[in-house]
Amino acid sequence: MSDNCIFCKIVSGAVPSTKIYEDNDVIAFNDIRPSASVHFLIVPKLHIDSLASCENEHQALLGKMLLLAPKLAKQQGLAGFKTLINTGVEGGQEVFHIHVHVMGGGDKSRNN
């Protein structure tokens, strides 16, 4: 748990989310500003700032997150999907708690 981290607050339940999956290690919930008809985030319960902060000890967790993507995408009705991990400010990362975006079902324009 990292203070003032929005995703840690979602993990703890302090901030609500539209959860689509949860186990001991990860949660997945719909992005609040979707850029596709289906757009959810796969988030580890452990706070890790970004992909650039990952160490060898996180290998299994990262693998678990990626292996979940096709399973959850299928459950959400997607035949195919895009994945995205923004890393660092210059990589477009806004929330510094590592997450995998999963998007599909057609683009939505974003007003931001």
Just list the catalytic residues.
99
- Asked if 47 and 2 count as a contact pair (C-beta separation under 8 A), the reply is yes
5 binds, among ligand 5GP, Zn ion, none (CB under 5 to 8 A by kind): Zn ion
Interface with ligand 5GP, residue 50, by CB under 6 A: no
CB 93 to Zn ion: min, Å: 13
How many angstroms separate the CA atoms of 104 and 38, rounded? 5
SS3 category, 33: coil
Interface with ligand 5GP, residue 17, by CB under 6 A: yes
Letters for 69-108 (x = contact with ligand 5GP by CB under 6 A, - = none) are -----------------x-----xxxx-------------
How many angstroms separate the CA atoms of 85 and 13, rounded? 23
Among 26, 6, 30, 8, residue whose Cα is nearest residue 17: 30
Query: Which residues of the chain form contacts with ligand 5GP (CB under 6 A)?
Result: 6, 15, 17, 29-33, 86, 92-95
